[in-house]
Amino acid sequence: MNEQRLTHVDESGAARMVDVSAKPVTAREATAAGRVLVSPEVIDLLRGRGVPKGDAVAVARIAGIAGAKRTPDLVPLCHPIALHGVTVDVDVTDDGIDITATARTADRTGVEMEALTSVAVAGLTMIDMVKAVDPRAAITDIRLLAKSGGKSGDWTR
Protein backbone atom coordinates (compact mmCIF):
# COMPACT_ATOMS: atom_id res chain seq x y z
CA MET A 1 0.00 0.00 0.00
CA ASN A 2 1.33 3.44 -0.95
CA GLU A 3 1.28 5.70 2.10
CA GLN A 4 0.13 9.26 1.38
CA ARG A 5 2.13 12.09 2.88
CA LEU A 6 2.55 15.82 2.58
CA THR A 7 5.25 16.52 0.00
CA HIS A 8 6.36 19.89 1.36
CA VAL A 9 7.54 18.60 4.74
CA ASP A 10 10.54 16.39 5.43
CA GLU A 11 10.74 13.39 7.78
CA SER A 12 11.16 15.69 10.79
CA GLY A 13 8.18 17.85 9.83
CA ALA A 14 10.18 20.84 8.59
CA ALA A 15 8.97 22.72 5.52
CA ARG A 16 10.99 22.10 2.36
CA MET A 17 10.88 22.79 -1.33
CA VAL A 18 10.44 19.53 -3.25
CA ASP A 19 13.42 18.62 -5.45
CA VAL A 20 12.03 18.17 -8.97
CA SER A 21 15.37 18.08 -10.79
CA ALA A 22 15.05 14.38 -11.68
CA LYS A 23 11.52 14.67 -13.02
CA PRO A 24 11.00 14.80 -16.80
CA VAL A 25 9.72 17.91 -18.54
CA THR A 26 6.13 17.33 -19.64
CA ALA A 27 3.26 19.46 -20.90
CA ARG A 28 1.02 20.45 -18.00
CA GLU A 29 -2.19 22.41 -17.66
CA ALA A 30 -4.44 23.41 -14.76
CA THR A 31 -7.77 25.21 -14.58
CA ALA A 32 -9.16 26.91 -11.47
CA ALA A 33 -12.27 28.94 -10.77
CA GLY A 34 -13.82 31.21 -8.18
CA ARG A 35 -16.57 33.78 -7.68
CA VAL A 36 -16.88 37.33 -6.49
CA LEU A 37 -20.22 38.03 -4.87
CA VAL A 38 -21.37 41.61 -5.43
CA SER A 39 -24.51 43.72 -5.13
CA PRO A 40 -27.04 44.09 -7.96
CA GLU A 41 -25.83 47.70 -8.29
CA VAL A 42 -22.32 46.48 -9.16
CA ILE A 43 -23.73 44.02 -11.71
CA ASP A 44 -25.65 46.88 -13.34
CA LEU A 45 -22.53 49.06 -13.43
CA LEU A 46 -20.38 46.26 -14.89
CA ARG A 47 -22.98 45.63 -17.58
CA GLY A 48 -23.56 49.32 -18.25
CA ARG A 49 -21.59 52.48 -17.70
CA GLY A 50 -18.81 50.90 -15.64
CA VAL A 51 -17.48 51.30 -12.12
CA PRO A 52 -15.75 54.47 -10.87
CA LYS A 53 -12.22 53.06 -11.30
CA GLY A 54 -12.71 52.01 -14.93
CA ASP A 55 -13.01 48.71 -16.83
CA ALA A 56 -13.05 46.32 -13.89
CA VAL A 57 -13.34 43.18 -16.02
CA ALA A 58 -10.30 44.04 -18.15
CA VAL A 59 -8.22 45.05 -15.13
CA ALA A 60 -9.15 41.83 -13.27
CA ARG A 61 -8.21 39.73 -16.30
CA ILE A 62 -4.78 41.39 -16.60
CA ALA A 63 -4.25 41.13 -12.82
CA GLY A 64 -5.03 37.40 -12.97
CA ILE A 65 -2.37 36.89 -15.62
CA ALA A 66 0.14 38.93 -13.60
CA GLY A 67 -0.77 36.97 -10.46
CA ALA A 68 -0.05 33.65 -12.14
CA LYS A 69 3.37 34.94 -13.16
CA ARG A 70 4.16 35.99 -9.57
CA THR A 71 3.01 32.79 -7.83
CA PRO A 72 6.46 31.67 -6.58
CA ASP A 73 6.92 35.13 -5.03
CA LEU A 74 3.64 34.79 -3.13
CA VAL A 75 3.55 31.08 -2.22
CA PRO A 76 6.85 30.29 -0.50
CA LEU A 77 7.44 26.68 -1.57
CA CYS A 78 6.24 26.97 -5.19
CA HIS A 79 8.84 26.43 -7.89
CA PRO A 80 9.47 29.24 -10.36
CA ILE A 81 8.38 27.72 -13.67
CA ALA A 82 8.15 29.01 -17.20
CA LEU A 83 4.51 29.77 -17.91
CA HIS A 84 3.73 29.24 -21.57
CA GLY A 85 0.16 30.45 -21.44
CA VAL A 86 -2.39 31.90 -19.03
CA THR A 87 -5.98 32.67 -19.89
CA VAL A 88 -8.37 34.38 -17.52
CA ASP A 89 -12.09 34.54 -18.24
CA VAL A 90 -14.23 36.96 -16.25
CA ASP A 91 -17.98 36.49 -16.67
CA VAL A 92 -20.50 38.88 -15.12
CA THR A 93 -23.59 36.87 -14.13
CA ASP A 94 -26.87 37.97 -12.57
CA ASP A 95 -25.57 37.37 -9.03
CA GLY A 96 -21.79 37.78 -9.21
CA ILE A 97 -18.63 37.49 -11.23
CA ASP A 98 -17.30 34.08 -12.26
CA ILE A 99 -13.53 33.87 -12.78
CA THR A 100 -11.85 30.95 -14.53
CA ALA A 101 -8.11 30.73 -15.17
CA THR A 102 -6.09 28.18 -17.10
CA ALA A 103 -2.29 28.01 -16.85
CA ARG A 104 -0.03 25.99 -19.18
CA THR A 105 3.63 25.00 -19.15
CA ALA A 106 6.10 22.39 -20.25
CA ASP A 107 8.12 21.88 -17.09
CA ARG A 108 9.01 19.49 -14.25
CA THR A 109 6.15 20.46 -11.94
CA GLY A 110 2.51 21.42 -12.26
CA VAL A 111 0.73 24.73 -12.66
CA GLU A 112 -2.14 24.23 -10.22
CA MET A 113 -0.92 26.95 -7.87
CA GLU A 114 -0.49 29.38 -10.76
CA ALA A 115 -4.10 28.83 -11.87
CA LEU A 116 -5.38 29.19 -8.30
CA THR A 117 -3.30 32.31 -7.68
CA SER A 118 -4.56 33.79 -10.93
CA VAL A 119 -8.17 33.40 -9.79
CA ALA A 120 -7.42 34.80 -6.34
CA VAL A 121 -5.60 37.87 -7.66
CA ALA A 122 -8.28 38.54 -10.29
CA GLY A 123 -10.90 38.31 -7.52
CA LEU A 124 -8.98 40.63 -5.23
CA THR A 125 -8.60 43.09 -8.08
CA MET A 126 -12.32 42.98 -8.81
CA ILE A 127 -13.02 43.77 -5.15
CA ASP A 128 -10.59 46.68 -5.32
CA MET A 129 -12.37 47.97 -8.41
CA VAL A 130 -15.89 47.78 -6.91
CA LYS A 131 -15.34 48.39 -3.18
CA ALA A 132 -16.46 52.04 -3.36
CA VAL A 133 -19.86 50.85 -4.59
CA ASP A 134 -20.06 47.57 -2.67
CA PRO A 135 -17.89 47.24 0.45
CA ARG A 136 -19.48 43.82 1.11
CA ALA A 137 -18.07 42.22 -2.06
CA ALA A 138 -16.59 38.81 -1.24
CA ILE A 139 -14.46 36.17 -2.94
CA THR A 140 -15.74 32.62 -2.63
CA ASP A 141 -15.28 29.07 -3.90
CA ILE A 142 -11.73 29.29 -5.24
CA ARG A 143 -10.95 25.75 -6.33
CA LEU A 144 -9.02 23.63 -8.77
CA LEU A 145 -11.26 22.29 -11.54
CA ALA A 146 -8.82 20.15 -13.50
CA LYS A 147 -5.17 19.38 -14.11
CA SER A 148 -3.32 17.36 -16.70
CA GLY A 149 0.22 16.17 -17.29
CA GLY A 150 2.98 14.93 -15.07
CA LYS A 151 3.42 11.61 -13.29
CA SER A 152 0.06 11.74 -11.53
CA GLY A 153 -1.76 12.30 -14.82
CA ASP A 154 -5.14 13.89 -15.32
CA TRP A 155 -7.53 14.93 -12.56
CA THR A 156 -10.96 16.56 -12.81
CA ARG A 157 -13.16 17.78 -9.99
Q: Is 79 annotated as a binding residue?
A: yes
**Residue 128 is a catalytic residue:** yes
Looking at 89, 98, 128, 141, which residue is catalytic? 128
Opening angle at CA 122, ends 119 and 113, nearest 5: 30
Q: How far apart are CA 105 and CA 90, in angstroms?
A: 22
DSSP letters for 8-49: TB-TTS-B-----TTSPPEEEEEEEEEEEE--HHHHHHHHTT
Q: Is 114 annotated as a binding residue?
A: yes
**What stretches of the chain show up as alpha helix (H) in DSSP?**
40-47, 56-69, 71-74, 112-130
Q: Is 8 annotated as a binding residue?
A: no
Q: Is 17 annotated as a binding residue?
A: no
Residues identified as active-site: 128
Residue ranges of the binding site:
77-79, 113-114
List, as residue ranges, the binding site for substrate. Answer: 77-79, 113-114
